[in-house]
Amino acid sequence: MSATYRDIKADILGKITRGEWKPGSLIPSELELAEVYGAARATVNRAMRELAEEGIIERKRKSGSRVRLSPLRQARFDIPVIRHQIEEQGRAYRYALVRSEVIEAPDWLCARLSLPGGARVRHLTCLHFADGTPWLHEDRWINLTLLPRAEAADFSAMGPTEWLVTQIPFSAVEISISATAADATLAAHLDCAVGEPLLMTERLTHWDGQTVTYVRLVHRPGHRMTTRY
Protein backbone atom coordinates (compact mmCIF):
# COMPACT_ATOMS: atom_id res chain seq x y z
CA MET A 1 0.00 0.00 0.00
CA SER A 2 1.41 3.40 -0.95
CA ALA A 3 1.86 6.08 1.70
CA THR A 4 -0.89 8.61 2.29
CA TYR A 5 -0.14 12.33 2.44
CA ARG A 6 -0.58 12.13 6.23
CA ASP A 7 2.06 9.37 6.41
CA ILE A 8 4.46 11.43 4.29
CA LYS A 9 3.83 14.59 6.26
CA ALA A 10 4.40 12.80 9.57
CA ASP A 11 7.62 11.16 8.33
CA ILE A 12 9.05 14.43 7.01
CA LEU A 13 8.12 16.20 10.24
CA GLY A 14 9.80 13.41 12.17
CA LYS A 15 13.02 13.83 10.19
CA ILE A 16 12.99 17.55 10.94
CA THR A 17 12.23 17.24 14.66
CA ARG A 18 14.88 14.51 15.10
CA GLY A 19 17.47 16.70 13.42
CA GLU A 20 18.02 14.45 10.40
CA TRP A 21 17.00 17.41 8.23
CA LYS A 22 18.46 20.46 9.91
CA PRO A 23 17.18 24.06 9.68
CA GLY A 24 18.10 25.53 6.30
CA SER A 25 18.80 22.16 4.68
CA LEU A 26 17.45 21.38 1.21
CA ILE A 27 14.64 18.83 1.08
CA PRO A 28 14.57 16.25 -1.76
CA SER A 29 12.36 17.17 -4.71
CA GLU A 30 8.76 16.01 -4.93
CA LEU A 31 9.71 13.51 -7.63
CA GLU A 32 12.43 12.04 -5.41
CA LEU A 33 10.10 11.86 -2.43
CA ALA A 34 7.36 10.25 -4.52
CA GLU A 35 9.81 7.49 -5.43
CA VAL A 36 10.97 7.08 -1.83
CA TYR A 37 7.43 6.81 -0.46
CA GLY A 38 5.95 4.93 -3.40
CA ALA A 39 3.28 7.60 -3.78
CA ALA A 40 1.96 9.88 -6.48
CA ARG A 41 3.60 13.27 -6.80
CA ALA A 42 0.24 14.93 -6.02
CA THR A 43 0.19 13.10 -2.68
CA VAL A 44 3.67 14.35 -1.85
CA ASN A 45 2.69 17.84 -2.96
CA ARG A 46 -0.22 17.92 -0.54
CA ALA A 47 2.01 16.88 2.37
CA MET A 48 4.61 19.50 1.45
CA ARG A 49 1.96 22.17 0.98
CA GLU A 50 0.54 21.58 4.44
CA LEU A 51 4.01 21.69 6.01
CA ALA A 52 4.63 25.00 4.23
CA GLU A 53 1.27 26.39 5.38
CA GLU A 54 2.16 25.41 8.95
CA GLY A 55 5.47 27.29 8.70
CA ILE A 56 7.71 24.20 8.98
CA ILE A 57 9.27 24.35 5.51
CA GLU A 58 9.76 27.05 2.91
CA ARG A 59 9.01 26.34 -0.76
CA LYS A 60 10.43 28.30 -3.68
CA ARG A 61 9.64 27.54 -7.29
CA LYS A 62 13.19 27.47 -8.67
CA SER A 63 15.34 26.73 -5.64
CA GLY A 64 13.27 23.94 -4.09
CA SER A 65 12.07 23.38 -0.53
CA ARG A 66 14.08 23.92 2.63
CA VAL A 67 13.54 23.43 6.33
CA ARG A 68 12.84 26.83 7.83
CA LEU A 69 15.60 28.28 9.98
CA SER A 70 12.91 28.85 12.61
CA PRO A 71 9.29 27.69 12.44
CA LEU A 72 6.95 30.41 11.22
CA ARG A 73 3.98 31.06 13.46
CA GLN A 74 1.03 32.22 11.42
CA ALA A 75 -2.31 33.68 12.43
CA ARG A 76 -5.10 31.86 10.62
CA PHE A 77 -8.46 33.23 9.56
CA ASP A 78 -11.32 31.06 8.41
CA ILE A 79 -13.84 32.36 5.91
CA PRO A 80 -16.81 32.53 8.27
CA VAL A 81 -20.44 32.05 7.36
CA ILE A 82 -22.03 34.99 9.14
CA ARG A 83 -25.25 33.12 9.93
CA HIS A 84 -23.22 30.45 11.75
CA GLN A 85 -21.32 33.07 13.75
CA ILE A 86 -24.52 34.65 14.99
CA GLU A 87 -26.41 31.42 15.68
CA GLU A 88 -23.44 29.98 17.60
CA GLN A 89 -23.93 32.84 20.04
CA GLY A 90 -27.51 31.73 20.57
CA ARG A 91 -28.90 34.73 18.72
CA ALA A 92 -31.54 34.88 15.99
CA TYR A 93 -30.12 35.53 12.52
CA ARG A 94 -31.77 37.59 9.79
CA TYR A 95 -30.42 38.53 6.36
CA ALA A 96 -31.51 41.26 3.96
CA LEU A 97 -30.45 41.95 0.38
CA VAL A 98 -30.30 45.73 -0.02
CA ARG A 99 -29.06 46.00 -3.60
CA SER A 100 -28.16 43.71 -6.49
CA GLU A 101 -26.88 44.64 -9.94
CA VAL A 102 -24.81 43.25 -12.81
CA ILE A 103 -22.51 45.94 -14.18
CA GLU A 104 -19.18 46.53 -15.87
CA ALA A 105 -16.47 46.58 -13.24
CA PRO A 106 -15.37 50.13 -12.38
CA ASP A 107 -11.74 51.02 -13.03
CA TRP A 108 -10.71 50.76 -9.37
CA LEU A 109 -12.15 47.25 -9.15
CA CYS A 110 -10.46 46.14 -12.41
CA ALA A 111 -7.16 47.27 -10.92
CA ARG A 112 -7.87 45.57 -7.58
CA LEU A 113 -8.97 42.27 -9.13
CA SER A 114 -6.65 42.37 -12.20
CA LEU A 115 -9.69 42.30 -14.49
CA PRO A 116 -9.69 43.47 -18.12
CA GLY A 117 -11.64 46.61 -18.96
CA GLY A 118 -15.31 45.93 -19.54
CA ALA A 119 -15.37 42.82 -17.34
CA ARG A 120 -18.81 42.12 -15.86
CA VAL A 121 -19.36 41.69 -12.13
CA ARG A 122 -22.27 41.04 -9.78
CA HIS A 123 -22.43 43.76 -7.15
CA LEU A 124 -24.34 43.02 -3.95
CA THR A 125 -25.06 45.06 -0.84
CA CYS A 126 -26.37 43.04 2.11
CA LEU A 127 -27.18 43.44 5.78
CA HIS A 128 -26.91 40.79 8.49
CA PHE A 129 -28.81 41.07 11.78
CA ALA A 130 -28.51 39.45 15.22
CA ASP A 131 -31.68 39.49 17.34
CA GLY A 132 -33.04 42.19 15.05
CA THR A 133 -30.02 44.48 15.54
CA PRO A 134 -27.72 45.32 12.60
CA TRP A 135 -24.57 43.18 12.87
CA LEU A 136 -22.70 43.60 9.60
CA HIS A 137 -22.82 45.56 6.35
CA GLU A 138 -21.56 43.58 3.33
CA ASP A 139 -20.48 45.16 0.03
CA ARG A 140 -19.48 42.38 -2.39
CA TRP A 141 -18.29 42.08 -5.99
CA ILE A 142 -18.23 38.70 -7.80
CA ASN A 143 -16.15 38.12 -10.95
CA LEU A 144 -18.61 36.80 -13.55
CA THR A 145 -15.82 35.89 -15.97
CA LEU A 146 -14.64 33.25 -13.51
CA LEU A 147 -18.04 32.41 -12.00
CA PRO A 148 -20.72 33.15 -14.63
CA ARG A 149 -23.48 31.26 -12.79
CA ALA A 150 -23.38 33.95 -10.11
CA GLU A 151 -25.25 36.23 -12.52
CA ALA A 152 -28.49 34.28 -12.19
CA ALA A 153 -28.04 33.23 -8.55
CA ASP A 154 -30.82 34.26 -6.16
CA PHE A 155 -29.31 36.12 -3.22
CA SER A 156 -32.61 37.31 -1.82
CA ALA A 157 -32.75 34.59 0.84
CA MET A 158 -29.13 33.40 1.16
CA GLY A 159 -26.02 35.48 1.81
CA PRO A 160 -23.26 35.49 -0.83
CA THR A 161 -20.72 33.70 1.38
CA GLU A 162 -23.05 30.76 1.98
CA TRP A 163 -23.63 30.47 -1.77
CA LEU A 164 -19.98 30.90 -2.77
CA VAL A 165 -18.58 28.22 -0.46
CA THR A 166 -20.83 25.67 -2.18
CA GLN A 167 -19.87 26.75 -5.70
CA ILE A 168 -16.10 27.15 -5.97
CA PRO A 169 -13.01 26.35 -3.86
CA PHE A 170 -10.35 28.92 -3.06
CA SER A 171 -6.59 28.63 -3.34
CA ALA A 172 -5.56 31.89 -1.67
CA VAL A 173 -7.16 34.59 0.43
CA GLU A 174 -5.94 38.14 1.15
CA ILE A 175 -7.38 39.84 4.22
CA SER A 176 -6.95 43.46 5.29
CA ILE A 177 -8.32 44.85 8.56
CA SER A 178 -8.61 48.56 9.17
CA ALA A 179 -10.58 51.25 10.96
CA THR A 180 -13.11 53.38 9.14
CA ALA A 181 -15.67 56.00 10.04
CA ALA A 182 -19.39 55.66 9.42
CA ASP A 183 -20.66 57.75 6.54
CA ALA A 184 -24.35 58.54 6.24
CA THR A 185 -25.14 55.25 4.46
CA LEU A 186 -23.26 53.05 6.93
CA ALA A 187 -24.69 54.96 9.87
CA ALA A 188 -28.24 54.35 8.61
CA HIS A 189 -27.61 50.66 7.94
CA LEU A 190 -25.72 49.92 11.17
CA ASP A 191 -27.83 52.18 13.40
CA CYS A 192 -24.92 54.27 14.61
CA ALA A 193 -23.81 57.90 14.45
CA VAL A 194 -22.14 59.46 11.42
CA GLY A 195 -18.41 59.55 12.05
CA GLU A 196 -18.49 56.72 14.60
CA PRO A 197 -15.41 54.45 14.34
CA LEU A 198 -16.08 51.03 12.80
CA LEU A 199 -14.04 47.93 12.04
CA MET A 200 -13.71 47.07 8.34
CA THR A 201 -12.46 43.79 6.89
CA GLU A 202 -11.57 43.60 3.18
CA ARG A 203 -11.16 40.17 1.64
CA LEU A 204 -9.96 39.04 -1.78
CA THR A 205 -10.56 35.37 -2.55
CA HIS A 206 -8.61 33.70 -5.36
CA TRP A 207 -8.89 30.48 -7.31
CA ASP A 208 -6.21 29.26 -9.72
CA GLY A 209 -4.58 32.67 -9.99
CA GLN A 210 -7.81 34.62 -10.58
CA THR A 211 -9.89 36.64 -8.15
CA VAL A 212 -13.30 35.13 -7.42
CA THR A 213 -14.69 37.88 -5.21
CA TYR A 214 -13.83 41.05 -3.33
CA VAL A 215 -15.84 42.01 -0.28
CA ARG A 216 -15.86 44.84 2.25
CA LEU A 217 -17.39 43.86 5.59
CA VAL A 218 -18.11 46.67 8.02
CA HIS A 219 -18.97 45.63 11.56
CA ARG A 220 -21.17 47.57 13.94
CA PRO A 221 -19.50 49.35 16.91
CA GLY A 222 -18.10 47.03 19.56
CA HIS A 223 -17.29 44.11 17.25
CA ARG A 224 -14.42 41.85 18.34
CA MET A 225 -12.38 39.59 16.03
CA THR A 226 -10.46 36.56 17.39
CA THR A 227 -7.96 34.29 15.65
CA ARG A 228 -5.81 31.36 16.78
CA TYR A 229 -2.30 30.32 15.81
Domain ranges of the chain: 5-67, 82-219
Helix/strand/coil for 16: helix
Of the listed ranges 28-37, 61-70, 117-126, 185-194, the one predicted with least confidence = 61-70
CA geometry: angle 31, 33, 38, nearest 5 deg: 95
Instruction: From residue 72, give the alpha-carbon distance in Å to each of 15, 55, 211, 214.
Output: 18, 4, 26, 28
pLDDT of residue 94 exceeding 90: yes
What span, in angstroms and rounded, lies between the C-alpha atoms of 185 and 194?
Answer: 9
Give me the mean pLDDT over the 76-89 stretch.
79
Instruction: From residue 204, give the alpha-carbon distance in Å to each of 19, 79, 118.
Output: 38, 11, 20
pTM here is: 0.67
What span, in angstroms and rounded, lies between the C-alpha atoms of 175 and 155?
Answer: 23
Cβ density class 158-195: b for 16+ within 10 Å, e for less: ebbbebbeeebeeeeeeeeeeeeebeeebbebbebeee
Of the listed ranges 23-27, 121-125, 138-142, the one predicted with least confidence = 23-27
What span, in angstroms and rounded, lies between the C-alpha atoms of 216 and 203?
Answer: 7
What span, in angstroms and rounded, lies between the C-alpha atoms of 136 and 125?
Answer: 11
Annotation: CATH topology of 82-219: Chorismate lyase (3.40.1410)
pLDDT at 73: 56
pLDDT of residue 226 exceeding 80: no
pLDDT of residue 74 exceeding 80: no
Longest dimension (CA), the chain: 64
pLDDT in tens, 179-206: 999 999 999 999 999 999 999 999 999 8
Annotation: CATH topology of 5-67: Arc Repressor Mutant, subunit A (1.10.10)
Give me the mean pLDDT over the 123-139 stretch.
96
What span, in angstroms and rounded, lies between the C-alpha atoms of 186 and 195?
Answer: 10
